[in-house]
Amino acid sequence: MFLTAPSIENRGCDSSAPLECILNIVRALRMGSCLSAESGSPLPDSPLSPAGVRKRKILNKRPGSRKSSFEHRRDEPLHRIPGRMFLNGSSEVASLFTKQGKKGTNQDAMIVWENYGSRIDTFFCGVFDGHGRYGHIVAKRVRDSLPLKLSANLEVNMTGEDVLKEISLNTAGSMNSEDTHFISGGEDSRVSVDLQEAEKHPEIFQILKDSFLKAFRAMDRELRMHPHIDCFCSGTTAVTLVKQDLVIGNVGDSRAVLGMRDKDHSLVAVQLTVDLKPSLPEEADRIRKCRGRVFALQNEPEVARVWLPNNNSPGLAMARAFGDFCLKDFGLISVPDISHRHITEKDEFIVLATDGIWDVLSNKEVVDIVASAPARSSAAQFLVESAIRAWRYRYPTSKIDDCAVVCLFLDTNRTSAASNTKLKEQLTFVDQAEACSEKEELSNPTTSDCIGTIQTGNETLEKDAMKRP
């Protein structure tokens, strides 16, 4: 999601420093694009491609081998950008927390980027739920690259000062604060905007929509062409938000929920995104038109999955995702659902979370838990711990899923000075394993890693690349 927050102090940071960091990173990314996506050579996956040969050699290295020099150039300035948080912690306006489940490596990733695009009233937030053998690598790559691609597209498209002013103004009637309306945004996307507002300022909504669509498309292309990341049977969801008002881009089954007060001042939950699963009729229709198959296993009839036309694999539990290129010719897409919402004084906070939260807690339970947290700085951790308890109670024999949560508070101007001081404290728990895992390298998967088999009568599925709900 992309959000522009209520105006807050700049905390003494030089506004030019983050911009310079972003420009350096974008330049480095463009260099990488010239060497891959824009070249006329075959795809790296092609047996005839020299890049494919190079890729196999690199992937056969041991996991402890070094990253490429390009990876180091990208990561070093990125992690030094002021206001960019991706580990467990908090700030004055946000709380982040992730915890590994019982299924292996934590494949969830998250980010809050304050002063996004060098604007002190703008935030980028996102959670990413990886799946498959290398899902944790894919999720982190999208976490790091997608905000840069979106920022670059917004910078290119927003050339007029008037457009920038229009977007930052919360004009009366710009959006219905109680609802989110969906209209068709193209063949494969739904764009949520207010029709009257779109007629008043069509250039604004078109710019935002185009920037999100281009950034998501470029992100998936980068994953396909990347020489060090195997995404054939691995991928990730993404629910991203930019706060200048709220602009949300969603792929997969992670979710965004708003906590707001109704006319009686009661706290209510408003779901801002649609879980893009194969069970949705329009998603299933698209997949079947592309020769993909949608069905559920007998031992979990409530979970529709996506399968190859002539093979009972990989059984993906979502209809849209980054990566997963084994299914991209058969109906799986990475085109986001895009929605816009005007923030009002009734809106208190937004929760972005992976399905490890939503599988065991309702939207109302989530907003109630966040509102009742001992402190806003620990709200995300409080929610994750509540979800883990719910997992143990509801599914005592099941493995707990990874959980990642971002809480973004919208009413910071109404909090007390004491509360702000408490929020400013950083959480002491930092997942060192997360930082270490950034240096992981990959090994090439065998066919058995990607291809699952179903045994008639016993209904067992071997799947490294399948995401369980």
pLDDT per residue as tens digits for the range 240-284: 998 877 899 999 999 999 999 999 999 999 999 999 999 999 999
Q: How many Cβ atoms from other residues are within 10 Å of residue 323's Cβ?
A: 33
In a domain, residue 22? The reply is yes
Q: Which class for 399: exposed (0-12), middle (13-18), buried (19 or more C-beta within 10 A)?
A: exposed
Q: Which amino acid is at 456?
A: T
Instruction: Give the pTM.
Output: 0.72
| Rounded-to-integer distance, Cα 367 and Cα 354, Å | 15
The CATH number linked to 185 is 3.60.40.10
In a domain, residue 464? The reply is no
In a domain, residue 8? The reply is yes
- ∠ CA 59-324-353, nearest 5°, is 110
Task: Output b/e per residue, 53-78; b: 16+ Cβ within 10 A.
Answer: eebeebbeeeeeeeeeeebebbbeeb
- The pLDDT of residue 207 is 82
- The pLDDT of residue 20 is 57
In a domain, residue 310? The reply is yes
- Which domain covers residue 99, as residue numbers? 2-450
Could you tell me the two tokens for 40? 């006329």
In a domain, residue 468? The reply is no
User: Which parts of the chain sit beneath pLDDT 50?
Assistant: 4-15, 26, 28-70, 160-164, 166-201, 415-469
| Rounded-to-integer distance, Cα 390 and Cα 164, Å | 44
| Chain position carrying tokens 């007629």 | 199
In a domain, residue 98? The reply is yes
Q: How far is CA 295 from the centre of its chain?
A: 26
Q: How many domains does the chain have?
A: 1
Could you tell me the two tokens for 198? 């779109």
In a domain, residue 404? The reply is yes
Q: How many Cβ atoms from other residues are within 10 Å of residue 295's Cβ?
A: 14
Q: How many Cβ atoms from other residues are within 10 Å of residue 207's Cβ?
A: 22
Residues 6 or more apart whose Cβ sits within 8 Å of residue 3: 122, 123, 124, 125, 241, 242, 243, 244, 245, 246, 247, 350, 408
Give, for 196, the enclosing helix (H) or strand (E).
Answer: helix 195-200
| Rounded-to-integer distance, Cα 193 and Cα 198, Å | 7
Residues 6 or more apart whose Cβ sits within 8 Å of residue 374: 382
Q: Which amino acid is at 74?
A: R
In a domain, residue 461? The reply is no
